[in-house]
Amino acid sequence: MAQQITKYICSECGHVTTTKTGKCPSCNSWGTFEILPEVSSSNKNSSAKKNLPNIKIINALEVKTPRRISTGIEEFDRVLGGGLVPGSVILIGGQPGIGKSTLLLQAAGSVAKNYNVPVLYISGEESDAQVALRASRINTASENLFLYSGSELEDALINLENNNFAFFVLDSVQAMSADNNSGWVGTVTQVRAVAQRVIDTAREKKIPAVMIGHITKDGKIAGPMMLEHMVDTVLNFSGEGYSAYRMLRAVKNRYGSTDELGIFEMLEDGLKPVTDKSGLYWNREDSAVPGVAMTIALEGNTPLAAEIQTLAAKTIFPYPRRTSRGIELNRFQLLTAVIDRRCRISTLSHDLYINVAGGLTLQDPSADLPACAAIASALKNVSLQSGTCWLGEVGLAGEVRPVTRIDLRLKEAARLGFHTAVVSSREQIKFSGIKIIRVSHIDEALAGLIVANSTQSR
Ligand code: TYD
Ligand code: MG
């Protein structure tokens, strides 16, 4: 047997040596060497050879690509990662009235019709007449779409026993009561029991299920915290109250990415997917107005053209107002301070208002540069070059930083007819279909690009 050599490890930087020295040659710390414990040889190669009960080698497992069921609504399928996975359970949450029941009744109707299979819609919230009225409004007539209205979950699920149902929807998890469970519907124990029963049924029958969930005032799904852990996919359906547009996003997805964004429009006859999202949140004509800057924001994987509007109004008060919608107020104030200090454009004598058109909320840091451009343009009352979009994060020193997935954004900008993009000088770009102006500092970005026409106002 070979003789063991003692090794030493530096406790500061992990440098290993066979001679113990006072000073570590790697990190120059003193007195940090300790003996490196030996890994005993019996542990080294025991793994695959011993008898291993209850565990498996992952590589040896059979890989099955799930056969997905299309909801018949392309935007919905995309957010799910390609459709409903048999045996999986989806939880969808959203404000009351946003259109959850409408979306799921539409999906249930199309699965029933397109696959010619029975689908069960369980409604604990609405009567037969109400669901029938909605179904006729959205035109989901199908011989195969069945309704259970009531709050006894077992009464509803018993129908799945001997019939070949291919999909079921539970509307909503807070409105049902599970057998053998005391307590009011909607209580934490009831909700957990209902969800568990739905999950067990979906797994056992190998069919997909969707549960609709109510949300609390702070936007979380009402019920036990573990509800979201129990299901395979959690979707969030949202929208601004005044706008007809609705956004569907995956918060968690065991069968796909959480990067996709689905957009729908609520019309008289149900939800209509918006496949061309380019015109939703900006208006070409607005680019001639002082205080307006265009950008391409990313919502997950979807590039969205957005219009940032700023208004500057002179004030005599010592504390000028800062009001924002669609951009976080703190961030707006920070960017205003950057402009004041780094570009020497005084902001103190003006109230400033910022708004992202169309009710969009921009969390993407790439909105910093267009927001700064819009603020400066509003303060100087001169418009920015039209046909230009702005993409960059702005730091406190006024430096302009790169953004994620620049090529995807530039491609979308070019597609929409923008001829120029202002980006960070450190950006690495492959796409060549648009004129690029590189800037390293916000001062530089604004200096050459504001069209000097100080008489212009609108
Ligand atoms: P609903 O699906 O009931 O919302 P949720 O289940 O999330 O509470 O949708 C409610 C709203 O949608 C309601 O205010 C009316 C509107 N709506 C339409 O505009 N068009 C339609 O075709 C339908 C069915 C609903
Ligand atoms: Mg509903």
**Which of 73, 102, 236 gets mutated to test ligand 1 (max ligand atoms within 8 A of its CB)?**
102
Residue 262: enclosing H or E segment and its boundaries?
A: strand 261-267
Task: Give the per-residue pLDDT at 136.
Answer: 93
Tell me, in angstroms, the distance from the centre of ligand 1 to residue 160's CA. 27
* Burial of residue 415 (number of CB atoms within 10 Å: 0-12, 13-18, 19+): middle
Evaluate: CB of 109 within 6 angstroms of ligand 1.
no
Residues 6+ apart with CB under 8 A from 360: 281, 297, 304, 306, 326
Ligand 1 mean position, distance from CA 248 (Å): 15
Position 91, amino acid: L
Question: Is the beta carbon of 287 within 6 A of some atom in ligand 1?
Answer: no
Q: What is the pLDDT of residue 128?
A: 95
Output the pLDDT for position 43.
Answer: 52
Q: Is 175 in the pocket of ligand 1 (CB under 6 A)?
A: no
Q: Which pLDDT belongs to residue 33?
A: 85
Strands of 281-396 (E only): list them: 292-299, 302-314, 322-325, 350-356, 388-390, 393-394
Range of lowest pLDDT (292-301, 310-319, 331-340, 349-358): 292-301
Ligand 1 atom closest to 266 (CA) = 19
pLDDT at 451 over 70: no
266 lines ligand 1 (CB under 6 A): yes
Residue 49 has pLDDT above 60, yes or no: no
174: which residues sit within 8 A by CB, 6+ positions away?
Answer: 185, 186, 191, 213, 214, 222, 223
* pLDDT at residue 379 in the model: 93
Relative to the CA of 269, which ligand 1 atom is closest? Answer: 22
Quick: pLDDT tens for 238-282: 887 677 889 899 999 999 888 788 889 999 999 999 877 777 777
Ligand 1 atom nearest to CA at 95: 7
The pLDDT, as a whole number, for residue 277 is 73
Report pLDDT for 2: 55
Q: Categorize the per-residue pLDDT at 44 as very low, low, confident or very high, splitting at 50, 70 and 90.
A: low
> Of all residues in the chain, what percent carry a pLDDT higher than 70?
93
Report how far residue 436's alpha carbon sits from residue 162's, in angstroms, rounded to the nearest whole number: 64
Could you tell me the pLDDT band of residue 64, with boundaries at 50, 70 and 90? confident
Which residue has the least CA distance to atom 10 on ligand 1? 97
Nearest ligand 1 atom to the CA of 103 is 2
pTM above 0.85, yes or no: no
Confidence check: pLDDT of 312 > 90: yes
Q: Is the Cβ atom of 134 under 6 angstroms away from ligand 1?
A: yes
Query: Of 170, 159, 192, 191, which Cα lies nearest the Cα of 123?
Result: 170
Ligand 2 centroid, distance to 100 Cα (angstroms):
6
Ligand number, closest to the Cα atom of 171: 2
Q: Which amino acid is at 259?
A: D
Question: Helix, strand, or coil here: 88?
Answer: coil
Mean pLDDT of 207-214: 96
142 residue type, one letter: S
Kindly tell me if the per-residue pLDDT of 416 is higher than 80: yes
CA-nearest residue for atom 11, ligand 1, is: 97
Q: In the prediction, which pLDDT does 200 show?
A: 96
Confidence category of residue 344, pLDDT binned at 50, 70, 90 = confident
Cβ burial of 285 (10 Å; 0-12, 13-18, 19+) is exposed
Q: Does 116 score more than 80 pLDDT? A: yes
Query: Per-residue pLDDT averaged across 56-63, rounded?
Result: 86
- For residue 22, the model assigns a pLDDT of 87
| Lowest-pLDDT choice from 53-67, 131-145, 306-320 | 53-67
Q: How confident is the model at residue 452 (pLDDT cuts 50, 70, 90)?
A: very low
Q: Is residue 455 very low, low, confident or very high in pLDDT (cuts 50, 70, 90)? A: very low
Q: Tell me phi and psi for residue 424, to 5 degrees.
A: -70, 145
> Using one digit for the tens of pLDDT, what is the confidence trace for 420-446?
999 999 999 999 999 999 999 999 888
pLDDT of residue 405: 92
Q: What is the pLDDT of residue 454?
A: 40
Distance 165 CA to ligand 2 centre (A): 22
Q: Which residues contact 329 (CB under 8 A, 6 or more apart)?
A: 322, 323
Kindly state the tokens that stand for 176: 């049902």
What pLDDT score does 453 carry?
A: 41
**pLDDT tens per residue, range 354-371:** 999 888 889 989 999 999
**Which of 348-366 are b and which e, b meaning 16 or more Cβ less than 10 Å from the residue's Cβ?**
eebbbbbbbbbbbbbebeb
